Structure 1
């Protein structure tokens, strides 16, 4: 599905008129706004000496970067633990995958972790496949409420798709080319969680960070209060 298709359905999910929104901007201005985003919003942070050596977390925001600001909170908490992060808009996923693959092959990083919200979650299977094709397997990928049906292939240690089953969220389908573990977790019953709040929810942020810590530090995922209501 094209980036314009993702954008259109996203605004439909919000109950807005995507057609009116797109027509309200001149085509040239819209193109500049969308395709300049990856370059303008990519931020990388070096890992402290006491951090998780060789681990890097890549976070992908959704449309226009204004609906996925909870990822910044997750990034700050990871950085406080010494885990380096890179945040960018979902439109930059392919360039980010190439960058991560190059760093993996050079030995700069050895553990790749992906997190995406909304459209950022929609492109995660494509990013996993692209990295796998370049010999850079993903250790952990976490999707937060993609509203499009996607399928997963390639090498990934663990793929967790948190989706809102009583909304527009969609489970991820495995393919025969998948080498790894796929978990679809319906978070409909988590208090206060919706498409625009899932990545801002304290419960979900703790869950995501727990999943990441289990990989980065070799620990078991920490139990959180949401555990009893996360339905697979």
Structure 2
């Protein structure tokens, strides 16, 4: 009987020891959790892509006749598929769209304003940028697709990218002393299949535009937006008078 009692005592002591160890582990674990800073969870600290998309707004401006800028609809569909709000309108609406964007920015509903324009829509972009700056709603990114008129840029914009076709009717954008931001004039005449009436429909150009927008909205790396090198050297005197014969002009 004594031996039997001794075994019970041994088992009881072992059980108590394990319980005490478990309580100590619990105490240590709780102490560690209390010492961790609030919000240290990797999931909580990760950027909220959905929120970044929903608080951005891309305005796409068509040219003179809406039937000639249908490639903007393809770009809009791809952006919407990523959760980015988009407005597609004729370039003549740029002033009212600027007022709308500024109101959304001031209310906090819109945090990132992005503009894209084709042909006359690209020509209207500098006016829309300047208007938004006056209204206290700076543009984060503006992309022009082959403006056929020389325009001057003023106001604030994070980055202004002007894709133009130098051997066609496209024109570079000039900046004024009142301009604040980064301006890039990029000649895309060597992109296969590109033309004034097809630049916004060209899949290579569409991908360039979307990549630039994604880089701003989601913080992704945008591919180099510079043009391809000419496949053949240009003939002497082929450049139009008064135009620099270069692959790209960056400012």
Question: What is the TM-score with the length of structure 2 in the denominator?
Answer: 0.70
Deviation (angstroms), 1:219: 1.3
Question: Contact 1:51 / 1:82 at 8 angstroms: preserved in 2?
Answer: no
Structure 2 residue runs of 5 or longer lacking an equivalent are 1-48, 230-246
Question: Contact 1:50 / 1:82 at 8 angstroms: preserved in 2?
Answer: no
Question: Counterparts of 1:227 and 1:90 in 2: how far apart (Å)?
Answer: 26
Which aligned runs of 4 or more in structure 1 are off by greater than 3 angstroms? Answer: 48-51, 226-232
Deviation (angstroms), 1:49: 5.3
Identify the residue that residue 207 of structure 1 maps to in structure 2: 208
Question: Contact 1:185 / 1:231 at 8 angstroms: preserved in 2?
Answer: yes
Look up the SS of the partner of 1:123 in the other structure. helix
Look up the SS of the partner of 1:198 in the other structure. coil
The residue correspondences of 1:122-201 to structure 2 (distance < 5 A) are 122-201=123-202
Alpha-carbon displacement from aligned partner over 1:145-195 (angstroms, at most 9, x marks no partner): 000000000000000000000011000001000000000000111111000
Question: Counterparts of 1:128 and 1:106 in 2: how far apart (Å)?
Answer: 19
The residue correspondences of 1:44-55 to structure 2 (distance < 5 A) are 52-55=53-56
Identify the residue that residue 248 of structure 2 maps to in structure 1: 231
- The structure with the larger Rg is 2
Question: Counterparts of 1:51 and 1:83 in 2: how far apart (Å)?
Answer: 9
Computed over aligned residues only, the root mean square deviation of the Cα atoms, in angstroms, reads 1.7
Give yes or no for the alignment of 1:79 onto 2:80. yes
Look up the SS of the partner of 1:66 in the other structure. helix
Aligned residues: 184
Question: Contact 2:188 / 2:228 at 8 angstroms: preserved in 1?
Answer: no
